[in-house]
Chain A
Amino acid sequence: MMAKRTMTLNLTDAEMRVLDDLSLRKDITKTAVLRQALRLYQTIEARVEKGEKLLFENEATKEKAELMLL
């Protein structure tokens, strides 16, 4: 098991509600939600840096929308 460090996180009520909701829907702890978010963010950044785009496709209409990352 990898060693882990502890940090304090300050969130607004709205952010905390989202974190609670994601934790419930994804069946993972709040810490796991944040670690998962970090992984996904880093993965997306790495691919965008390589010149790729992040697209969402509507399964029914096949309509594509690009997620703009600043």
Chain B
Amino acid sequence: MTADVSTIYLLDVATGNSVEAELRDAIEQAQIDDWQTKWQPALLGILQDLARNGVPMSQWPQSWHWNWAQKTARVQGLLAFRGFSVVAQGETQGLVQVDLTKAGREPNQVRKPLVYIDYLEVAPWNRPEFGAAPRLRGVGTALLTAAVALSDDEGFKGRLGLHSLPQADDFYRKIGMTDLGPDSAYQNLRYFEMTAEQARAFLE
């Protein structure tokens, strides 16, 4: 299967210029190779810096142990799971894997199907929380937009759900998702949902 590719634009933080990028509706071997050979060494450098500077582990990037090779292999061939990737400047800039078998919990959409974001991660060099200025902005939003658009395309009206890592809680509140509080059945991570109305507002 060949991925469908759409053109999107990201912001190059250093120059202020927009950068053409590909939004691909799949996570392919090239993305796994980039994760292994580019993301992993960059992340290792960041973790070494954090350890050297005495930053407590609670403040480390909470996705540092994610293994995209395993995550994608586990769901290969299953219709219930889909992936998207953003590629720019010859490198994978972000990845998202979603599950289409989950249902809503928000009172207005209880048990209605939604797109559930299993994992969303942006390349280490694009993440502002590590101190250095990010290289490209807009990757996470592009991936989230792809997930909302998929929900719409599947007839789920943009409904979206996810468990947020604490470092991302504020972002999901800022884009208007409903915070349904900590989920004791899921490592106490906060569960967020986007309703059909919120999805419409998000896409506008």
Chain B nearest CB: distance from A3 CB in Å? 9
The yes or no answer to A16 lying at the interface (CB within 8 A) is no
The yes or no answer to A48 lying at the interface (CB within 8 A) is no
Contact across chains for A27 and B100 when beta carbons are under 8 A apart:
no
Contact across chains for B157 and A43 when beta carbons are under 8 A apart:
no
Chain B nearest CB: distance from A45 CB in Å? 10
CA distance A26 to B109 in the complex (A): 9
The yes or no answer to A53 lying at the interface (CB within 8 A) is no
The yes or no answer to B111 lying at the interface (CB within 8 A) is yes
Q: Number of B residues contacting the other chain (C-beta, 8 Å)?
A: 16
Contact across chains for B4 and A28 when beta carbons are under 8 A apart:
no
Count, A-B residue pairs, CB within 8 A: 44
Residues of A contacting B154 in the complex (Cβ-Cβ under 8 angstroms): 28, 32, 35
**In B60-98, which residues have CB < 8 Å from any A CB?**
78-80
Tell whether A38 pairs with B25 under 8 Å between CB atoms, given A1-B153, A26-B112.
no
The yes or no answer to B156 lying at the interface (CB within 8 A) is yes
Contact across chains for B155 and A39 when beta carbons are under 8 A apart:
no
Chain A nearest CB: distance from B23 CB in Å? 12
**In B9-27, which residues have CB < 8 Å from any A CB?**
25
CA distance A32 to B192 in the complex (A): 23
The yes or no answer to A31 lying at the interface (CB within 8 A) is yes
CA distance A38 to B79 in the complex (A): 8
Tell whether A26 pairs with B4 under 8 Å between CB atoms, given A39-B101, A42-B78.
no
**B-to-A contact residues, CB < 8 Å:** 4, 25, 78-80, 100-101, 109, 111-113, 153-157
Cross-chain pairs A/B with CB under 8 angstroms, 9 sampled: A2-B4, A28-B154, A32-B154, A39-B78, A39-B79, A39-B100, A42-B79, A42-B80, A43-B80
16 more contacts with CB within 8 A, not counting A35-B154, A39-B101, are: A25-B111, A26-B111, A26-B112, A26-B113, A27-B112, A29-B155, A31-B155, A32-B156, A35-B79, A36-B100, A39-B80, A39-B100, A40-B80, A42-B79, A43-B80, A46-B78
**A-to-B contact residues, CB < 8 Å:** 1-2, 25-29, 31-32, 35-36, 38-40, 42-43, 46
The 10 closest A-B pairs by CB, nearest first: A32-B155, A39-B80, A39-B79, A28-B155, A29-B155, A43-B80, A27-B112, A42-B79, A26-B112, A1-B153
